[in-house]
Amino acid sequence: QVQLVESGGGLVQPGGSLRLSCAASGIFFHIYSVGWYRQGPGKQRDMVATITQGGTIIYTDSVKGRFTISRDNAKNTVSLQMNSLKPEDTAVYYCNLKNPLYEYWGQGTQVTVSS
């Protein structure tokens, strides 16, 4: 059974930091592109950052310079380090694994940036 377990969400003040992690099991992790998506209140789910099997990284413009995505194939994990957080970053964050045959989503973890 494929399982994606996310952790690290919570409440943080503007300018603060959080680190999200997603641990995968039941798959050959290294053959997937991995990424983080988010869905804010009243908005669609958008890509935040992705990193491919070959290591190519893409960030959405609004998080460049503030967020860093990384993967550890030995541990089957993908992380998102979020610095200088803004209220606009408030959303449910989802991890995603994708290859030509399959796509999987985590259950989502809430990030709230507020003073």
AA letter at 105: W
For residue 2, what pLDDT is reported? 92
Phi, psi of 56 (to 5 degrees): -70, 130
DSSP 8-state class, residue 26 = S
Q: pLDDT band at residue 34, thresholds of 50, 70 and 90?
A: very high
Residue 65, burial from CB neighbour count under 10 angstroms (0-12, 13-18, 19+): exposed
Segment 2-11 shows an average pLDDT of: 95
Using DSSP's 3-state secondary structure scheme, residue 80 falls into: strand
For residue 83, what pLDDT is reported? 98
For residue 38, what pLDDT is reported? 98
